[in-house]
Amino acid sequence: MGDRIFATFQSLLPTRALSAFMFRVAQVRAKPFKNALMRWFLHKYAVDLEEAEWSRVDNYEHFNAFFTRALKPGLRPQPAAANILSSPVDGAISQVGPIRQGQIFQAKGHGYSAAALLADEELAKDFYSGSFSTIYLAPHDYHRVHMPCIGRLRSWAYVPGRLFSVNPSTARSVPGLFARNERMVAIFDTQFGPLALVMVGAIIVGGIETVWSGQLTPPHLRHVPPTYYQPMQPLLLQRGAELGRFHMGSTVILLAPPGALTWDPALAAGQAVRLGQSLATMLK
């Protein structure tokens, strides 16, 4: 009942305006304000700033720079074996498993189709009986997104949508949540075939950014048909290379084709993962 009430409350909020406003607040450079905001956030969410490249709030020009902070070099090494798919983010496993008849499991009683998530029926055919992993980024997590394997960017799209929260409570109460929210979808060609990587926006998420297109949001668009673009120049990203970042937190979803991966059997809903941690073994 509490989950449903929370979801209903969100549906009544002007989420796009609220998120755009918070993005502007996060850019304020006034030292007393931005330092106070960062210290409040550090206390409320128990952020370990010792892992960051800069460990003092004075080093950050504004809250957004703090939120998208870099880690100390070498802190999240990639696996030694070349056939390992690594975690693209710090976060927690929301769900992991097979894609059954094109359907992806969200939470008990809820799912969504790969076609709806990718906003493209033809692209979704590659993942019809494949597998997926959904990773939730909490406020205290590191919020840059990295490549889980070597991949060449084939195409990408901005998909407008809602801005519900993506926390576990909302996932349990909003049908098709990740296919309804604003998102960026990127398709990479890899050694095991196509990989879809989806960065899902959410309420208070002020922006999504990629290394090939820069800032995608804000503005948070509505009635714009999703269009897949090919990179103007070939873009090959190594495993562990940064591909984008969230300006505030959200969720990353990975889709793989059938027979491509064997997911680590120890992975389970709610389990914390770290950037570079082994998620699966590539079979091709």
Which residues participate in catalysis according to the annotation?
A: 90, 146, 250
CB burial readout 35-67, b (16+ within 10 A) else e: bebbeebeeeeebebeebeeeebeebebbbbbb
- C-alpha torsion angle, residues 91, 94, 100, 101 (rounded to 10): -80
Inter-residue long-range contacts of 26-34, CB under 8 Å, 24+ positions, other chains counted = 26/62, 26/63, 26/64, 26/67, 26/206, 26/247, 26/248, 27/62, 27/63, 27/64, 28/62, 28/63, 29/61, 29/62, 31/58, 34/60, 34/61, 34/62, 34/63, 34/66
Cα(135)–Cα(89) distance, integer angstroms? 8
What does the DSSP assignment read for 153-193?
EEEEEEE--B----SHHHHHHSTTHHHHB-EEEEEEEETTE
* Structure tokens given for 52: 């960051």
At 111, the amino acid letter reads G
